[in-house]
């Protein structure tokens, strides 16, 4: 999945380039502080006009972000109740992305790092309403711990289709959360697979596998992520890296190599 964070005025061009290169899933957020969602929409429109893809060929994912995660450029009325903020944020996302629905709508992060709160329950109920109204196909949560997921489940919340987390190799590549997801058919989306794990990219095991496959260590990490059932995100700004990231699917990894990478840092 191609991630569009931190691209600012390069967002339209890089979104278009990613689609031209072969990406079909795009991740963004209605959080101007880190994403330029309207720029993503501009890039998508350029692809439609050029006849490269239609809306139906794409998987579009965006997010609802609480006020503390935003700067002054808010996509909703900060004085409105949370349910209204979700509805306003979604309406603004659809306008930015020039579509009548997204494929996945993600809660960018729970209100508290410590657990699933009543605020999250209210937001999630509003997100379910958006799904039921056809404005998103599925829902997801991001930046969650196992505790968040367990409490969310215990509270009787509708289960998410996706979990999107920063994936640290030293935590067994988020082992506990991935196991929770696997048991429930939730797809785990991993981000910062390269930037959170420099020790992996320079590890002898990974370098050897890369050399054997005439690949880069980054490609080995993405291929590994797929092998353990993750949907990896890349936000590269380089045309060459876009091609390499997509081509990483062709790397041959044995079960022993997957196990070795899975356990090399934690």
Ligand X SMILES: NC(=O)c1ccc[n+]([C@@H]2O[C@H](COP(=O)([O-])OP(=O)(O)OC[C@H]3O[C@@H](n4cnc5c(N)ncnc54)[C@H](OP(=O)(O)O)[C@@H]3O)[C@@H](O)[C@H]2O)c1
Which residues here bind ligand X, judged by CB under 6 A?
Answer: 3-5, 27, 108, 142-143, 164, 191-195, 216, 218, 233-238, 241, 244-245
- Provide, rounded to whole angstroms, the least separation between the CB of residue 90 and ligand X: 17
Instruction: Choose among 40, 39, 10, 36: nearest CA to 26.
Output: 40
Choice between 30 and 142, CB closer to ligand X: 142
User: Of 81 and 146, which CB lies nearer to ligand X in the complex structure?
Assistant: 146
Phi, psi of 58 (to 5 degrees): -105, 155
Nearer to ligand X, 84 or 237 (CB): 237
Residue 127 CB, shortest distance to ligand X, in Å, is: 15
Residue with smaller CB distance to ligand X, 27 or 257: 27
C-beta closer to ligand X: residue 45 or 231: 231
CB atoms within 10 A of CB 22: 12
The distance of closest approach from Cβ of residue 261 to ligand X in the complex, given in angstroms and rounded to an integer, is 16
Q: Is residue 138 within 8 Å of 103, Cβ to Cβ?
A: yes
**Nearest residue to ligand X, by Cβ distance, number only:** 3
Nearest distance, CB of residue 28 and ligand X, angstroms:
7
Nearer to ligand X, 29 or 157 (CB): 29
Q: For residue 96, give the nearest of 140, 32, 18, 51 by alpha carbon.
A: 32
Shortest gap between Cβ of 246 and ligand X (angstroms)? 10
The CB-of-178 to ligand X minimum distance in angstroms stands at 16
Burial of 81: CB neighbours in 10 Å, binned 0-12, 13-18, 19+: exposed
**Residues ≥6 apart with Cβ < 8 Å to 129:** 83, 86, 87
């Amino acid at each position: 999945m191609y991630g569009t964070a931190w691209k600012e005025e390069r967002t339209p061009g890089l979104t278009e380039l990613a689609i031209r290169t072969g990406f079909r899933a795009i991740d963004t957020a209605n959080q101007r502080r880190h994403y330029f969602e309207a720029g993503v929409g501009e890039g998508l429109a350029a692809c439609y006009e050029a006849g490269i893809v239609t809306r139906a060929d794409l998987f579009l994912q965006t997010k609802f972000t609480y006020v503390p995660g935003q700067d002054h450029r808010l996509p909703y009325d900060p004085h409105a109740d949370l349910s209204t903020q979700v509805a306003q944020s979604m309406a603004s996302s659809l306008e930015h992305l020039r579509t009548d629905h997204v494929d996945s709508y993600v809660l960018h992060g729970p209100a508290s790092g410590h657990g699933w709160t009543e605020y999250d329950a209210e937001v999630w109920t509003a997100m379910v309403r958006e799904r039921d109204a056809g404005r998103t196909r599925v829902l997801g949560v991001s930046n969650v711990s196992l505790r968040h997921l367990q409490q969310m489940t215990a509270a009787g919340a509708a289960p998410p289709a996706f979990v999107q987390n920063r994936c640290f190799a030293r935590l067994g590549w988020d082992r506990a959360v991935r196991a929770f997801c696997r048991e429930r058919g939730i797809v785990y989306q991993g981000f910062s697979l390269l930037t959170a794990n420099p020790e992996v990219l320079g590890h002898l095991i990974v370098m050897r596998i890369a050399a054997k496959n005439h690949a880069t260590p980054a490609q080995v990490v993405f291929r590994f992520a797929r092998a353990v059932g993750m949907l990896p995100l890349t936000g590269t700004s380089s045309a060459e890296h876009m091609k390499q990231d997509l081509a990483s699917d062709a790397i041959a990894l044995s079960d022993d190599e997957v196990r070795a990478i899975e356990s090399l840092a934690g």
